[in-house]
Amino acid sequence: MNRRNGFGLLLLFALLLAPARLPAPLVHVPGEGWYYEPYGATAGWQRTRAKEQLQVAEESFAAGDFSTAIRAANRVLRVWPLSDYAPRAQYLIGRGLEAQRKDEAAFKAYQKVIDKYPKSEEFNEVLRRQNEIAGRFLAGQWFKIWNVIPLYPSMADTAKLYEKIVASGPYSEIAPQAQLNLGAAREKGKNYAEAVAAYNTAADRYSNQPKVAAEAMYRAGLSWQKQADTAEYDQGAAAQAIAAYTDFMTVYPDDPRVPEAQAAIARLKAEQVRGNFQIAKFYEKNRQWAGAIVYYNAVVQLDPNSPLAAEARQRIEVLKPRLQTPAPAKTS
């Protein structure tokens, strides 16, 4: 017999010899989890009717005893899952967890109200509380392991919270701001393409709310601009940013951010001009005259009054005659 098996048998023997009534400070209830409860305290919060059990949960929550409130509400769900008191019990579980600063668990508990009891009187209140929880993560709160140890901040996980909120009530009072915050989370996480998609959804779905739609269109332009300004300058994203800002100014010409959009477009176009000019120089250096002329022409079209446009015109005139003769082979 090895040492591990011997220890197991000794432990089992000790348990068999122990008195029948042992204090059990740690108690596990299926569907409720583990909690501390001194011996003899069980009868203090358990009731034989759903209404009375829910009342215990309500009173415990009001008194700040959130552990007992959660335990009593869980018992309503476990013993009387089909009762009229179940939706309120599920809501109180979320409230208790949120009060204990277990935001991820609270969000999931609130989601059960939405999924299981969509006609609950607390439906809109649940969405509002979920939005507040997501807002704390958007502001930088860390996600926790086991609802205890702060582990990491995550804009990707935050975005998923907002996705659930919007999916649960796409036309609720909370939804427009939640959709904007979904874009903000993607933007903070530097996932600019998905940020733009979220903002475009907000602009389209809530076009009857000018404040929301204008914010969404402006933020879409800003997200494209951030994408363009990454380490490797993205010409395509720059073009998308210019188009987004232009749409914003066309639809909302009186918005106070129009001057900012105009300045952004000017900067983007200047960068486009510089980028196209550099590409043209590259083609010219490699004796690819046709390609060089294409990009010099792009410089002229983007900003015909810029100094680079004047130089681009000169290079075009120099390169045009060379198109008539094949470029000499490069020597190694």
Q: How much is the pLDDT for 41? A: 45
- pLDDT band of residue 18 (cuts 50, 70, 90) is very low
- pLDDT band of residue 298 (cuts 50, 70, 90) is confident
- Yes or no: say if 26 and 41 are a contact pair by the CB < 8 Å rule: no
Give the pLDDT mean for 273-277. 83
Q: Give the percent of the chain with pLDDT over 70.
A: 84
Instruction: Decide: residue 302, CB within 10 A, 0-12 exposed, 13-18 middle, 19+ buried.
Output: buried
Residue-wise pLDDT for 44-98, tens only, equals 889 989 999 999 999 999 999 999 999 999 999 999 999 999 999 999 999 999 9
Residue 327 has pLDDT above 60, yes or no: no
Residue-wise pLDDT for 231-261, tens only, equals 566 778 888 999 999 999 999 999 999 999 9
Q: What is the pTM of this model?
A: 0.77
Q: How much is the pLDDT for 101? A: 94
Give the pLDDT mean for 285-308. 85
Give the pLDDT mean for 21-33. 46
- Yes or no: say if 308 and 282 are a contact pair by the CB < 8 Å rule: no
Q: What is the dihedral of CA 217, 218, 223, 226, to 10 degrees?
A: 150
- Yes or no: say if 217 and 209 are a contact pair by the CB < 8 Å rule: no
Which tokens hold the place of 264? 């952004």
Residue 280 has pLDDT above 90, yes or no: no
The C-alpha atoms of residue 150 and residue 316 are separated, in whole angstroms, by 61
Greater model confidence, 5 or 140:
140
- pLDDT band of residue 26 (cuts 50, 70, 90) is low
Residue 6 has pLDDT above 60, yes or no: no
Q: How many residues does the chain have?
A: 332
Q: How much is the pLDDT for 279? A: 87
Residue 20 has pLDDT above 50, yes or no: no
Which domains can be identified in the chain, with CATH numbers?
273-326 (1.25.40)
3-state secondary structure the chain: CCHHHHHHHHHHHHHHHCCCCCCCCEEEECCCEEEECCCCCHHHCCCCCHHHHHHHHHHHHHCCCHHHHHHHHHHHHHHCCCCCCHHHHHHHHHHHHHHCCCHHHHHHHHHHHHHHCCCCCCHHHHHHHHHHHHHHHHCCCCEEECCCEEEECCHHHHHHHHHHHHHHCCCCCCHHHHHHHHHHHHHHCCCHHHHHHHHHHHHHHCCCCHHHHHHHHHHHHHHHHHHHCCCCCCHHHHHHHHHHHHHHHHHCCCCCCHHHHHHHHHHHHHHHHHHHHHHHHHHHHCCCHHHHHHHHHHHHHHCCCCHHHHHHHHHHHHHHHHHHCCCCCCCC
- pLDDT band of residue 11 (cuts 50, 70, 90) is very low
Q: How many CB atoms lie within 10 A of CB 261?
A: 24
Q: How much is the pLDDT for 317? A: 86
Give the pLDDT mean for 313-320. 86
Residue-wise pLDDT for 182-199, tens only, equals 999 999 999 999 999 999
- pLDDT band of residue 264 (cuts 50, 70, 90) is very high
Residue-wise pLDDT for 197-242, tens only, equals 999 999 999 999 999 999 999 999 999 999 988 756 677 888 899 9
Residue-wise pLDDT for 118-133, tens only, equals 999 999 999 999 999 9
Q: How much is the pLDDT for 19? A: 44
Q: How much is the pLDDT for 36? A: 55
Greater model confidence, 274 or 112:
112
